[in-house]
Chain A
Amino acid sequence: MKYTPNPPAVVEEMLRSMGLNSLDELFLDVPSPLKLNGNLDLPDGLGEMEVKNHLRSLANLNVNVDDYPCFLGAGAYDHYIPVAIDQLLLRSEFYTTYTPYQAEISQGILQAIFEYQTLICQLTGMEVANASLYDAASALAEATILAAVQTKRKKILLPDNIHPEYRQVLETYAISGTFEVVILPTKDGIISSNDLTSNLDNNVAALVIQQPNFYGVLEEVAEAEKLIHENKSLLIMAVDPISLGILKSPGELGADIVIGEGQALGNPLSFGGPYLGFFATKQKLLRKMPGRIVGQALDKDGNRAFVLTLQAREQHIRREKATSNICSNQALNALAATMYLTAVGPTGLKNVAIRSHQLAVYAQQELAKLGFKLKYKQAFFQEFVIEVTNPHLINERLLENGIIGGYPLTDGLMLAFTEKRSKAEIDKLVAVIGGN
């Protein structure tokens, strides 16, 4: 299969119009020792039917969450996606367009991003948001750089209950020398004021709080917020967007920078990507915020219009002075999130959060009846850890019973629940874990 439209006769006509005789003449500038001369070891191309069969056969080698109820979370969640969203995402004006550099021909994309930024502000209770970053982990890395630049301090206090992959990404980005990661020990699964206090000094740029944290547990943010701000440091929160349907917003809790994994907002699991990292801050950080930002403007006739704005922050202007090299956003994923938040609305989002939470509570209560204890006793949102010694064995048994189990920890199993699950599925899960 190929997608080049000019047949040989047209190719020849084009060559002749330039006074050329062959396609080879177009590559005279490539030194001959470098030329492959067709010597490329790739298979022959396949026709569309063959490609379909091949891809389908690969897909069929996988077990998927549409066929098997899934109790895995740990940063990616199997929430329901209203059908209208994918139908709309298939409009090719959206998915085959580029970054809206030419605003007058891209108002649809720009308006959608402006709406996305507004929705993220509404959800997080923050004042400004960017057009999205790659994912939560890289958004957290950008947030820490912003905090270090803003405070002119280096230390980032990172609790040990943060998502391990966020921590890994942060440690990778630390190669820049802009910030250094200090791991904050936690007590009983949550941040303790004592440990926080003993780690505070005048080189602490920010504290990161993940809410709910990696183990699904809800942090008491208020005390930490007070301590960190008294220290003139910033509070960065990494939040689950669905949980904000019921939980107090990070804005209300006093966060300065809020990031999160936006996957749950209308994006399929897709084996880990593409997702989107949302990024919101207080107004005072706007001009230092990384990533693309869409702003409202007026056109020549005085009508409302939208443009990419504040580009003086960005790499194509600042070049080697830029503190972020980001030059794109996850526009299509952000569009999905915009559609999702619109499709479910305020009541729908709250109900999704409540049902996910209630199913988790139900499962925990059923497991408790069989003697399975919570590893962390505090309140959780939609995910919790039970103490078991053999999580891998349990997962294998669940798989044999047509269930995708939880996230295995050394001495526990972490189970996640979304509104898609049912009591019947949970009863089966509990029964298999219980050995029946």
Chain B
Amino acid sequence: MGKLIFEKQVKGSNHFSLPKENLDVDIKIPEDLIRTEDLGLPELSEVEMVRHFTDLSHKAYGVDDGIYPLGSCTMKYNPKINEWAARLSGFSALHPYQAEETVQGALKLMYELDEMLCEICGMDNFSLQPAAGAHGELAGVMMIKAYHNKRQDFKRTKMMVPDSAHGTNPATANVVGYDVVEIKSNDLGLVDIDDLQAKMNDEIAGLMLTNPNTLGLFEEDIQEIADIVHTGGGLLYYDGANLNPIMGICRPGDMGFDVVHLNLHKTFSTPHGGGGPGSGAVGVKKHLAEFLPVPVVAYDEGTYCFNYDLPYSIGKVKSFYGNFGVFLKAYTYIKSLGRLGIIEAAQQAVLNANYLRHHLRENYYIPYDRLCKHEFVATAKYQMDANNVTTLDIAKRLIDYGYHPPTVYFPLIVKEAMMFEPVETESKARLDDLLAVLNTIAKEAEDNPELVKNAPYTATRRIDEVTAARKPIVKWEEG
């Protein structure tokens, strides 16, 4: 590991400059509010600053470096045109409080994106305000609560979540003030309809669901699920993390979902940026439109404007209008792909996932080994049983071969899970290379298990995460 930026500083080497203009104005800040402590920021020359961050970039791995089969994260190629578009000064240099007549292009883009997302999802209205998937969930579940509250239906204090769900689902329900009722998965990895039926009652506000689910399986009984929830007076929430393999094929709105959030940074190709920024657009059917976060973009007599006049709105979940610089990339992507491109992307995502699953099964246990959508779950069962080689070991060994590992130990209902999502922008040749490496690792686990257990052998070896959490060091300190 190289030095931290603080360990590279040279006093007096920073030459950042401001205009020389003489202002001849006194500082008018009360003395007792003026900083007395040293600021402590590092001092570097521009060239050393550039080299530092370039060096850090060499120690990171992105989609441009190779296949990134991280399940549930949809690590697809991020088209370069998106980055170009976001940097046009007509977009990047807009202040959020500019008068509406000076930002008509931005508002038009938002309005059209709302419309296109409605069409893709089969919903009636969208808000682009939430900043991330979990944030979209929060807005969505708040709308469900606002809906029941408006109907004076205060006894609905519980939210149903499948046991295969992403952790944000139950966490979101809790943050909005719901108790969580867990719904079991059946032997096929799908929602257990009997369990759902048994737990649905007039205290249930709704059900949060992904479809396809986190095992990559399409919930074939989705219409029946929707009927059960709706008949019981609940609402159906769609977690759009897994929309990619069904976009243009079928729509959450047609399945019966009342609210959806999308991860524009997954399905719609905006880059993940190392963990953010994302965009968690949230869409609703008509009966929930009055609860959307304000403002919504409206169009009236040739002019686009913000509408704040939603008396039952949940309010705002974020300053301003959302991550504009992110969702404009999603807009660019949909415009580029168009109708046929969207459908083709979904088809090829499913093709790639099934191809990988089909050819991986020889050496890895696949608990739900049947037609999947965008992803599937394999496990290290064979390797564990034979030589005590774990999923974590296999993941770390993949790094030695220059691959980013799949999502591991999720979903929680599968032991030693490895969740692969190969996405549509990977070629057959790339998938074949990954298969070859995974098969090699399976052989290594058999012939030389210690080799795999001690992986990786990269510049940074396996890290002791337990001590890091027990005695946390979360900043650099001198000396």
Per the 8 Å Cβ criterion, residues 341-381 of B in contact with A are: 341-345, 347-348, 350-351, 354-355, 358-359, 371, 373
Option from B68, B95, B345 in Cβ contact (under 8 Å) with A72: B95
Q: Are A15 and B351 in contact (CB under 8 A)?
A: yes
Counting CB contacts under 8 A, is A11 at the interface?
yes
Q: Are A361 and B43 in contact (CB under 8 A)?
A: no
Option from B96, B104, B171, B173 in Cβ contact (under 8 Å) with A61: B104
Residue of A nearest to B466 (CB): A297
In the complex, how many angstroms separate the beta carbon of A115 from the nearest chain B beta carbon? Answer: 5
Counting CB contacts under 8 A, is B310 at the interface?
no
Q: In the complex where A26-B350, A350-B39 touch, is A273 in contact with B16 (Cβ < 8 A)?
A: no
- Mask, B122-161, CB within 8 Å of A = 1, is 0000000001111101100010011000000000000001
Contacts of B27 in A (CB 8 A): 246, 354, 357-358, 361
Residue of A nearest to B103 (CB): A62
Counting CB contacts under 8 A, is B311 at the interface?
no
Contacts of B254 in A (CB 8 A): 34
Q: In the complex where A23-B347, A271-B106 touch, is A307 in contact with B16 (Cβ < 8 A)?
A: no
Contacts of A348 in B (CB 8 A): 14, 16, 18
Per the 8 Å Cβ criterion, residues 349-393 of A in contact with B are: 349-352, 354-355, 357-359, 361-362, 365, 379, 381
Contacts of A332 in B (CB 8 A): 271, 273-274, 276-277
Q: In the complex where A96-B64, A315-B171, A354-B27 touch, is A28 in contact with B371 (Cβ < 8 A)?
A: yes
Per the 8 Å Cβ criterion, residues 179-202 of A in contact with B are: none
Q: Are B354 and A48 in contact (CB under 8 A)?
A: no
Q: Are B53 and A246 in contact (CB under 8 A)?
A: no
Q: In the complex where A2-B341, A246-B35, A343-B49 touch, is A115 in contact with B476 (Cβ < 8 A)?
A: yes
CA distance A181 to B74 in the complex (A): 39
Q: Are A30 and B218 in contact (CB under 8 A)?
A: yes
Q: In the complex where A27-B350, A137-B316 touch, is A98 in contact with B396 (Cβ < 8 A)?
A: no
- Mask, A226-237, CB within 8 Å of B = 1, is 000000000000
Option from A171, A249, A271 in Cβ contact (under 8 Å) with B37: A249
Q: In the complex where A286-B474, A358-B23 touch, is A93 in contact with B58 (Cβ < 8 A)?
A: yes
Q: Are A121 and B345 in contact (CB under 8 A)?
A: no
Counting CB contacts under 8 A, is A123 at the interface?
yes
Q: In the complex where A138-B135, A347-B14, A422-B19 touch, is A122 in contact with B315 (Cβ < 8 A)?
A: no
Q: Are B103 and A343 in contact (CB under 8 A)?
A: no
A134, A348, A351 — which one has the most chain B CB atoms within 10 A of its CB?
A: A134
Q: Are B167 and A319 in contact (CB under 8 A)?
A: yes
CA distance A379 to B26 in the complex (A): 12
Q: Are A55 and B476 in contact (CB under 8 A)?
A: no
Q: Are B335 and A45 in contact (CB under 8 A)?
A: yes
Q: In the complex where A273-B131, A361-B28 touch, is A175 in contact with B177 (Cβ < 8 A)?
A: yes
Residue of B nearest to A274 (CB): B277
Counting CB contacts under 8 A, is B475 at the interface?
yes
Per the 8 Å Cβ criterion, residues 280-328 of A in contact with B are: 286, 292-301, 303-307, 309-312, 314-328
In the complex, how many angstroms separate the beta carbon of A309 from the nearest chain B beta carbon? Answer: 5
Residue of A nearest to B129 (CB): A273
CA distance A338 to B57 in the complex (A): 14
CA distance A432 to B109 in the complex (A): 32
Option from B16, B81, B120, B344 in Cβ contact (under 8 Å) with A2: B344
Per the 8 Å Cβ criterion, residues 240-292 of B in contact with A are: 246, 248-251, 254-255, 269, 271-278
Counting CB contacts under 8 A, is B425 at the interface?
yes
In the complex, how many angstroms separate the beta carbon of B180 from the nearest chain A beta carbon? Answer: 4
In the complex, how many angstroms separate the beta carbon of B287 from the nearest chain A beta carbon? Answer: 19
Q: Are A108 and B56 in contact (CB under 8 A)?
A: yes
Q: In the complex where A109-B274, A111-B56 touch, is A273 in contact with B223 (Cβ < 8 A)?
A: no
Segment touching A, from B195-203, B229-237, B438-446, B455-463? B455-463
Q: What number of A residues sit within 8 Å (CB to CB) of B?
A: 208
Contacts of B458 in A (CB 8 A): 104-105
Q: Are B105 and A341 in contact (CB under 8 A)?
A: no
CA distance A136 to B278 in the complex (A): 16
Q: Are A88 and B50 in contact (CB under 8 A)?
A: yes
Q: Are A328 and B278 in contact (CB under 8 A)?
A: yes
Contacts of A55 in B (CB 8 A): 85, 88, 332, 335
Q: Are B131 and A319 in contact (CB under 8 A)?
A: no
CA distance A292 to B472 in the complex (A): 13
Q: Are A121 and B1 in contact (CB under 8 A)?
A: no
Contacts of A325 in B (CB 8 A): 134, 137-138, 168, 171-172, 174-175
CA distance A346 to B5 in the complex (A): 14
Per the 8 Å Cβ criterion, residues 99-121 of B in contact with A are: 99, 102-106, 108-109, 116, 119-120
Q: Are B93 and A66 in contact (CB under 8 A)?
A: yes
Q: Are B94 and A407 in contact (CB under 8 A)?
A: no
Q: Are B336 and A99 in contact (CB under 8 A)?
A: no
Q: Are B316 and A172 in contact (CB under 8 A)?
A: yes
CA distance A118 to B323 in the complex (A): 26
Contacts of B273 in A (CB 8 A): 94-95, 97, 330-333, 335
A57, A72, A270, A321 — which one has the most chain B CB atoms within 10 A of its CB?
A: A270
In the complex, how many angstroms separate the beta carbon of A296 from the nearest chain B beta carbon? Answer: 4
CA distance A303 to B462 in the complex (A): 10
Q: Are B425 and A4 in contact (CB under 8 A)?
A: yes
Per the 8 Å Cβ criterion, residues 6-57 of B in contact with A are: 6, 14, 16, 18-19, 21, 23, 25-30, 32-44, 46, 49-50, 52-57
In the complex, how many angstroms separate the beta carbon of A72 from the nearest chain B beta carbon? Answer: 5
Q: In the complex where A14-B351, A319-B170, A362-B25 touch, is A31 in contact with B278 (Cβ < 8 A)?
A: no
In the complex, how many angstroms separate the beta carbon of A351 from the nearest chain B beta carbon? Answer: 5
Q: In the complex where A118-B475, A129-B475 touch, is A6 in contact with B93 (Cβ < 8 A)?
A: no
Residue of A nearest to B50 (CB): A84
Q: Are B33 and A65 in contact (CB under 8 A)?
A: no
CA distance A88 to B60 in the complex (A): 13
Residue of A nearest to B271 (CB): A95
In the complex, how many angstroms separate the beta carbon of A141 from the nearest chain B beta carbon? Answer: 8
In the complex, how many angstroms separate the beta carbon of B427 from the nearest chain A beta carbon? Answer: 4
Counting CB contacts under 8 A, is A431 at the interface?
no
Residue of A nearest to B116 (CB): A42
Q: In the complex where A6-B348, A76-B96, A301-B461 touch, is A171 in contact with B315 (Cβ < 8 A)?
A: yes
- Mask, B402-434, CB within 8 Å of A = 1, is 001101001000000000000011111000000
Q: Are A272 and B460 in contact (CB under 8 A)?
A: no
12 pairs of residues in contact across A and B, judged by CB atoms under 8 Å: A35-B249, A36-B249, A41-B339, A56-B88, A60-B90, A70-B95, A98-B274, A118-B476, A252-B35, A274-B276, A286-B474, A316-B410
The 6 A-B residue pairs with the shortest CB-CB distance in the complex, in nearest-first order: A59-B90, A45-B338, A272-B320, A61-B105, A332-B273, A272-B96
